[in-house]
Structure 1
Amino acid sequence: MDCIFCKIINGEIPSEKVYEDDKVFAFMDINPLNDGHVLIIPKSHAGTIHEIGEDDFLAVMSATHKLAAAVRKALNPDGINLLQLNGKAANQVVPHLHVHIVPRWSGDGLTVSQWEIVAGNMEKVKNVAEQIKNSLK
């Protein structure tokens, strides 16, 4: 497989590992948005949230929780962004599921795209909610 994150897990590409267990690998981003930018990935290859098994996803989220606490303790940021992108339209670059922990400090200059907040059409919101609920069955 020609996946850069799989190669990192297998030791074919060096990384600065900060955490590892039987299901998860976490390392420092080599192009950090801020000091302390960590990536958390499942050891089993899954391109997106739609391809990962529930156990592996829960392991990634548990490790994310643990690492966010460690980043907060180590670096004392004013806040933390957690980012998880799926697919090209969502700006996913590496096709291996990953969660970004990005420590934030007031005035750090980073911005998150500003989505215009517009009051929703409640009938449409209700219809979409029904579609989602029906898809859970």
Structure 2
Amino acid sequence: MACIFCEILSGKRNGHIIYEDEKHIAILDKYPIDIGHSLVIPKEHHERITDMDSDSVGDMFSLVPKIANAVISVTGADAFSLGQNNGRAAKQIIPHVHVHIIPRYNHKGTIWTKRAISDDAELSELAKKIKDII
């Protein structure tokens, strides 16, 4: 089975990219837990974070504050959660390392399991707004 993130990186699949450098991309999650749910993804394919060297892990996590601040600024979120799953039993759906940045809103409460499918127009508009301030 092909890796969805590798297909986004190669241009074979569409992704709503909000950040990119030579080693990483950040995209909006297609099935967000809440508005602005984003993923920070290393371009080099590793299934689990334990397959990466510590410098690469540090480089990836060093992007989280920058991207989270942009997402919070655009969405008006009150807070955010981070998630990073490794392996099927941990509910890692795509076997390519990634960090979830999940905006949280006081008026909604914290929900981990509810997801909705966003349409491309909504994701494109939000991606542009976030990308413009990163």
TM-score range, shorter chain: 0.7 to 0.9
Structure index of larger Rg: 1
Structure 1 position 85 matched with structure 2 position 77:
no
Q: Which residue of 1 aligns with 2:34?
A: 34
Aligned ranges 1:39-118 → 2 under 5 Å? 39-112=39-112
Hey, what's the Cα distance between the residues in 2 that align with 1:49 and 1:112? Answer: 21
* Greater relative contact order structure (CA < 8 Å, 6+ sep): 2
Contact 1:25 1:41 in 2 (8 A): yes
TM-score normalised over the length of structure 1: 0.76
Contact 1:23 1:56 in 2 (8 A): no
Give me the whole-angstrom Cα distance separating, in 2, the residues matched to 1:62 and 1:45: 18
How does the TM-score come out when normalised to structure 2? 0.77
Consecutive aligned runs of 4 or more in structure 1 exceeding 6 Å deviation: none
Task: Summarize the alignment of residues 17-28 of structure 1 with structure 2, pairs less than 5 Å apart.
Answer: 17-28=17-28
Residues 20-67 of structure 1: per-residue CA shift (max 9 Å, x gap): 001111111111111111111000001011111222212211111210
Identity %, equivalent residues: 40
Q: Would you say the 8 A contact 1:18–1:26 is kept in 2?
A: yes
Q: Calculate the aligned-residue CA RMSD, in Å.
A: 1.7
Q: Which runs of 5+ in 2 are unaligned?
A: 114-134
Runs of 5+ consecutive residues of structure 1 not aligned to the other structure: 114-137
Letter in 1 for 2:67: L
